[in-house]
């Protein structure tokens, strides 16, 4: 395995020329930061993978933090941070824009590098006012904990997760942050040990590098209940570094780790490119499953992915619940967006139901509930007894899934919000949407190559 990993490291580790070029830009950026230090009263500090020397080849991101006094008012911190950030970028001949996380920060492009200039409080982890205040302590822990060889091991773990679409702590990816990769290497010592251990992980796995807690049971059952992987932050014991990692991605990482351990070759380290399905391939797979796909398509709201994707998933769950209540069974669901449009994907057992259905009632010997059931369904419904239970035959109001969902979603934004559709999506849906099932869905697949690529992943998904 070591021979394979060394070969991969040669491919992903920054080359000397790239390191020199980055260092030059960082020196210029630091000088620009120092230029406005006294005027705005902050201390410039590099953070992120650049500062920790765990960055991958061709990475073009630099994080410069402006550390302000912990007693400074939050609004004043934002104001000073924004003004200083803009001046720093402009002084280097770059262009800036305002981006938002917990509070605004400046993004700029300098010498081909994307630079984030982030205002933060210079305080200890126990007294942070926003999550970015913890970041400098993460840098300090990595610098102290990891030697040069282990920083290369981090690079391997980052690349491994990137290859399998598991890298990123955003709410679209729900995967591994760079810091999570660093902490895992700090705990296990090497990439090889991480994948060996991960191949044997079970839900609720606990990693506590600094031994903050004596009882793993407390972490699993109370403090971080329902988290698939629990990695106690070395600098903040009340935080799970892996909290954003989805349970699905927990099992996917376990799967690819096991596969690499059993056959440690480049083929199992790097992921094969996924190509969009042709319409013929897509139709063949749908026909083989014998299901119907409902696609709900609408314009994408102008919001960050960390807002968009949770809202799309929430909408998918809401539509599933509505369909289920009417008798339509949703086998699986997914979401997709290319930034311009959003698509909610729902795979239905069938999109057409019989007009008549029957509802199970109480035991005929349950007098109280039998009376209620009879009172509710007598008249227009046929009441039957089967195997000692009451049943009511009734006629469905809706037999077509497309007509049913369209009736609900073709409404005003306010009505959609009352129906449980998230706000940003409700606003866009009210402007217009397309809902399709069966053969009509093929037309949407035909128009969106990225969606056909998504479906290639959908059909191949297997976590064991």
pLDDT value, residue 379: 83
Q: How far apart are CA 120 and CA 122, in angstroms?
A: 7
pLDDT value, residue 115: 97
Residue 91 confidence class, pLDDT cut points 50, 70, 90: very high
Whether the pLDDT of residue 54 is over 80: the answer is: yes
| The domain over range 14-130 is classified in CATH as 3.30.460.10 | yes
Whether the pLDDT of residue 452 is over 80: the answer is: yes
Phi, psi of 261 (to 5 degrees): -65, -40
**For the residues 122-133, what does the mean pLDDT come to?**
92
Looking at every residue in the chain, the average pLDDT score rounds to: 96
Judge contact between 161 and 174, C-beta under 8 A: no
- CATH number belonging to domain 279-352+398-460: 3.30.70.590
Q: Sign (positive/negative) of CA torsion 177, 178, 180, 181?
A: positive
Q: How far apart are CA 138 and CA 362, in angstroms?
A: 59
Residue 133 confidence class, pLDDT cut points 50, 70, 90: very high
- 330 SS3 class: strand
**For the residues 418-440, what does the mean pLDDT come to?**
95
| CATH number of 146-269, picked from 2.40.240.20, 1.10.1410.30, 2.40.30.10, 1.10.10.1100 | 1.10.1410.30
**For the residues 442-456, what does the mean pLDDT come to?**
95
pLDDT value, residue 216: 95
By 3-state DSSP, what share of the chain in percent is helix, strand and coil, each rounded to 5?
Answer: 50, 20, 30
Specify the domain boundaries for CATH 1.10.1410.30 within the chain.
146-269
pLDDT value, residue 102: 81
- 17 SS3 class: helix
- 254 SS3 class: helix
Q: How far apart are CA 118 and CA 130, in angstroms?
A: 12
Whether the pLDDT of residue 453 is over 80: the answer is: yes
Fold of 356-395: Alpha-Beta Plaits (3.30.70)
Residue 65 confidence class, pLDDT cut points 50, 70, 90: very high
Specify the domain boundaries for CATH 3.30.460.10 within the chain.
14-130
Specify the domain boundaries for CATH 3.30.70.1550 within the chain.
356-395
Is the overall model pTM greater than 0.85, yes or no? yes
């Amino acid at each position: 395995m070591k021979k394979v990993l060394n070969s991969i490291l040669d491919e992903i580790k920054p080359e000397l020329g790239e390191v020199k070029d980055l260092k030059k830009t960082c020196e210029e950026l630091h000088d620009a930061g120092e230029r406005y230090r006294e005027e705005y009263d902050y201390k410039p500090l590099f953070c992120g993978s650049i500062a920790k020397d765990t960055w991958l080849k061709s990475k073009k991101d630099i994080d410069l933090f402006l550390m302000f006094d912990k007693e400074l008012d939050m609004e004043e911190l934002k104001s000073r941070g924004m003004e200083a950030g803009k001046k720093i970028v402009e002084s280097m001949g770059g262009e800036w824009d305002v981006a938002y996380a917990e509070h605004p920060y400046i993004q700029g492009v300098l010498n081909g590098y994307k630079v984030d200039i982030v205002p933060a409080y210079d305080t200890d982890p126990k007294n942070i006012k926003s999550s970015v205040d913890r970041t400098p302590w993460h840098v300090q822990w990595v610098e102290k904990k990891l030697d040069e060889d282990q920083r290369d091991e981090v690079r391997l773990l980052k690349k491994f997760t990137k290859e399998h679409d598991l890298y990123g702590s955003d709410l679209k990816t729900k995967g591994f942050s760079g810091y999570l990769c660093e902490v895992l290497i700090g705990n296990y010592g090497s990439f090889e040990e991480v994948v060996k251990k991960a191949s044997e992980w079970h839900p609720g796995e606990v990693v506590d590098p600094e031994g903050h807690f004596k009882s793993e049971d407390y972490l699993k059952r109370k403090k971080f209940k329902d988290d698939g992987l629990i990695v106690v932050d070395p600098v903040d014991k009340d935080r799970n570094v892996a909290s954003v990692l989805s349970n699905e991605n927990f099992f996917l990482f376990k799967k690819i780790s096991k596969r690499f351990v059993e056959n440690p070759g480049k083929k199992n380290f790097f992921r094969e490119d996924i190509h969009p399905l042709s319409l013929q391939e897509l139709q063949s797979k749908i026909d083989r499953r014998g299901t119907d796909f409902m696609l709900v398509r609408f314009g994408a709201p102008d919001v960050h992915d960390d807002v968009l994707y949770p809202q799309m998933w929430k909408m998918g769950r809401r539509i599933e619940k509505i369909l289920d209540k009417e008798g339509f069974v949703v086998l699986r669901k997914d979401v997709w967006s290319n930034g311009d449009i959003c698509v909610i994907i729902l795979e239905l057992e069938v999109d057409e139901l019989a007009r008549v259905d029957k509802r199970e009632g109480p035991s005929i010997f349950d007098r109280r509930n039998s009376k209620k059931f009879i009172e509710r369904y007598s008249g227009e419904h046929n009441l039957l007894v089967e195997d000692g239970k009451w049943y009511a035959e009734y006629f469905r109001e809706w037999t077509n899934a497309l007509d049913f969902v369209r009736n609900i979603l073709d409404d005003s934004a306010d009505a959609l919000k009352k129906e449980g559709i998230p706000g940003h999506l409700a606003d866009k849906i009210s402007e217009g949407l397309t809902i399709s099932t069966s053969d009509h869905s093929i037309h949407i697949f035909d128009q969106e190559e990225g969606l056909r690529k998504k479906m290639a992943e959908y059909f191949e998904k297997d976590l064991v």
